[in-house]
Chain A
Amino acid sequence: MLNKTGVPTKEQILSRFPERAVLKKPKAIIECYEEIPCNPCSTSCPFDAIHIGEDINTKPVVNFDKCTGCGICVFNCPGLAIVVASDVKERTQFKIAYEFNPKPKVNEVWHGVNRDGEIICDALIEKVMLTDKNDKTALITVSVEQQYMYDFVTIRGKSNG
């Protein structure tokens, strides 16, 4: 399925998540399903929480005990394949990479979109980080209803379709 459409299967997606209880704190979810020669997630992690090793084709493995959910890997991943997810109060919060203009503004409500590109929910913009360190890849903190933990992946503006 991933090979033909670019959409991973439910099993593939779930295999990247820790148990839900672990997600009371923010954790990096890495959707890197192929052995590709790439390791910036691992080398950019300040907490040594992402392991790849000598052979850069090895798929990354997150140590959820070490991961603080800081989000640095999110905007350092050349494949934009990482989100940070957590259950915060009554909602599920994500940190996602976003490379389009215009950028969302805090407190705006955007569409929440799934891996098929379909609009599935509302997404409340909570924080927008875009410093020199981001190198033009914004880190957006956004929250959705808790039922969308395994479906939400990105945002889309309500006015620009």
Chain B
Amino acid sequence: MLNKDLVIIGGGPAGLCAAKTAAEAGLSSIIIERSPKLGGQLVKQTHMFFGSEKQYAKTRGYNIAKILIDDVNRYHDKIEILTDTTVVGLYKDKVITILHQDEYRKIQAKAIIVATGASEKVLAFENNDLPGIYGAGAVQTLMNVYGVLPGHDVVMVGSGNIGLIVSYQLLQAGVNVKAVIEAAPTIGGYKVHASKLKRLGVPIYTQHTITKAFGKDCVEKILVTKLDQNWNPIEGSSFEMDVDGVCISVGLTPMGNLLAMIDAQMKYISELGGMVPIINHEHETSIENIFVCGDISGIEEASSAIVEGYYTGLVVANRLGYHHPNYMLLKEDYESQLNNLRSGPFGEKIRLGLAKMAEELNHVK
């Protein structure tokens, strides 16, 4: 059994940032990451980020990953990194079991931060398992990490920021994006992203959905159907599109599976993306000294995951008796950054979700 002060599960933006502020306060940690590389989803984001300078706005995602990884490497005496390692068990007494190259080990932690992020939602339609039908994350991995073209004529399903951004990246890779289709009456993501696509000649069909895919060995054709005000298919409105790729981008859902193993209190909060752990203002779950940060407790932009990570690392260090010299100042700054990121019209959903979370927390008490 290994003994560690702080174990951070997940080496994406939230986990990396938590390790950094914890180390600044003097607390050692170990980051466990299942992929061969740190950085999470940031490594495949080729676009410039929104937000403000403190969240590395206008920097491209993969460069933000480099900054955050460099920060962690600077504290190599305090932060240990285990990549290619999967957490296979989490226990209430803060024992974690891990699997690394067929070797099974146990770690006893004083505190744990679960920063496992989110997974993509899928869409049910006939033949949605044909090769060539991908999630947006897979398309980005193929294209932006491995340099593999996911198709030549692609339709994007979903007009949230991810759908719009990945469509633009497909165009940059030379792929013909035939359309973006969106079931809702209006475009989901930032209109600046939609305008970018439109001027490049990509049509956006709101109130449309994919109802069927056709193809022998891979997708060759799809059926697109118009929806009425109540999201029901309009009879006779279907039309076919020839494609060799379909990219599904219909949202993310928090990945809290590990927390289910310790019976942490969870609740379905649709505004936060699905089942989320009930956490207090210090990001602590119902199990003492087990914390979360990032998308696991509510789907947001990476900018928020970064700030939540910094915040949680600081708070956890303090809990274990490592007081950051600028504790109060930093804590207030991170809180105000998060409020700022969430205060506009695009933050309404997360504000509603967090209000429900606070209500639920009162019940628990």
Contacts and interface: CB of A to CB of B under 8 A. Distances in A.
A61 interface: no
A4 B50 contact: no
Contacts of A80: 192, 196
Contact of B201 (A4, A79, A117): A117
A8 B191 CA distance: 9
Contacts of A47: none
A55 B201 contact: no
A81 interface: yes
A8 B192 contact: no
Contact of B198 (A36, A54, A116): A116
Interface size class of B (residues with CB under 8 A): 35 or more
A57 B193 CA distance: 16
Counting chain A CB atoms within 10 Å of each CB, the highest count among B172, B185, B199, B202 belongs to B199
Interface in B40-64: 47-53, 57-60, 63
B39 to A, nearest CB: 18
Contacts of A154: 199-200
Contacts of B191: 2-3, 6, 8, 33-34
Contacts of A115: 195, 198-199
B147 interface: no
B195 to A, nearest CB: 5
Contacts of A5: 194, 198, 204
B317 interface: no
B341 interface: yes
A142 interface: no
Interface in A113-161: 113-117, 135-137, 153-154
Contacts of A45: none
Interface stretch (B74-82, B135-143, B323-331, B343-351): B343-351
B58 A37 contact: no
Interface size class of A (residues with CB under 8 A): 35 or more
B340 interface: yes
A119 B303 CA distance: 36
A48 B327 CA distance: 32
B190 A117 contact: no
Contacts of A76: 48, 58
Nearest to A82: B192
A113 B309 CA distance: 43
Contact of A78 (B58, B200, B345): B58
Contacts of B345: 34-35, 57
B186 interface: yes
Counting chain B CB atoms within 10 Å of each CB, the highest count among A2, A43, A113, A137 belongs to A2
A137 B340 CA distance: 27
A45 to B, nearest CB: 12
B204 A31 contact: no
B173 to A, nearest CB: 10
Given A34-B191, A39-B52, A44-B58, A117 B344 contact: no
A100 B172 contact: yes
Interface string B308-343: 000000000000000000000000000000001111
B48 A6 contact: no
Contacts of A44: 58
A13 to B, nearest CB: 11
A58 to B, nearest CB: 9
B199 to A, nearest CB: 5
Contacts of B206: 4
B172 A36 contact: no
A46 to B, nearest CB: 15
A108 interface: no
A77 B286 CA distance: 41
B195 A31 contact: yes
